Copies of this chain bind each other. A is one copy, B any other.
Amino acid sequence: MNYELKNLPERTRKPRQFGFTMAMDKGLSVREAEDFVATCADHVDIVKLGWATSFVTPNLKEKLKVFKDAGLPTYFGGTLFEAFIIRDQFDDYRRVLDKFDMQFAEVSDGSIDLDHDKKCDYIAKLSEQVTVLSEVGSKDADKIIPPYQWIELMQKELDAGAWKVIGEAREGGNVGLFRSTGEVRSGLVQEILTKIPFEKIIWEAPQKAQQVWFIKLLGANVNLGNIAPNEVIPLETIRLGLRGDTFLHFLGIERKKTNTTPPFEVE
Interfacial residues, chain A to chain B (CB-CB below 8 A): 1-7, 26-32, 34-36, 38-39, 42-43, 50-60, 79-80, 82-84, 86-87, 89, 92, 96, 99-100, 109-113, 138-140, 142-143, 145-146, 148-149, 170, 172, 208, 230, 232-234, 236-237, 240, 242-244, 247-248, 251, 253, 255-260, 263
* List of B residues within 8 angstroms of A89 by Cβ: 5-6
* List of B residues within 8 angstroms of A96 by Cβ: 3
Cross-chain contact of A29 among B35, B60, B112, B255 (Cβ < 8 A):
B35
Q: How far is the CA of A149 from the CA of B248 in the complex (A)?
A: 24
Asked if A140 contacts B3 (CB within 8 A), the reply is no
Asked if B143 contacts A55 (CB within 8 A), the reply is no
Asked if A240 contacts B84 (CB within 8 A), the reply is no
Query: Given A4-B92, A57-B2, does the pair A243, B52 have CB atoms closer than 8 Å?
Result: yes
Asked if A51 contacts B148 (CB within 8 A), the reply is no
- Copies of this chain assembled into the complex: 3
Query: Given A2-B60, A55-B237, A92-B3, does the pair A247, B29 have CB atoms closer than 8 Å?
Result: no
Asked if A247 contacts B79 (CB within 8 A), the reply is yes
Asked if A149 contacts B38 (CB within 8 A), the reply is no
Separation in Å of the A169 CB from the closest CB of chain B?
A: 12
* List of B residues within 8 angstroms of A82 by Cβ: 247
Query: Given A89-B5, A247-B111, does the pair A58, B84 have CB atoms closer than 8 Å?
Result: no
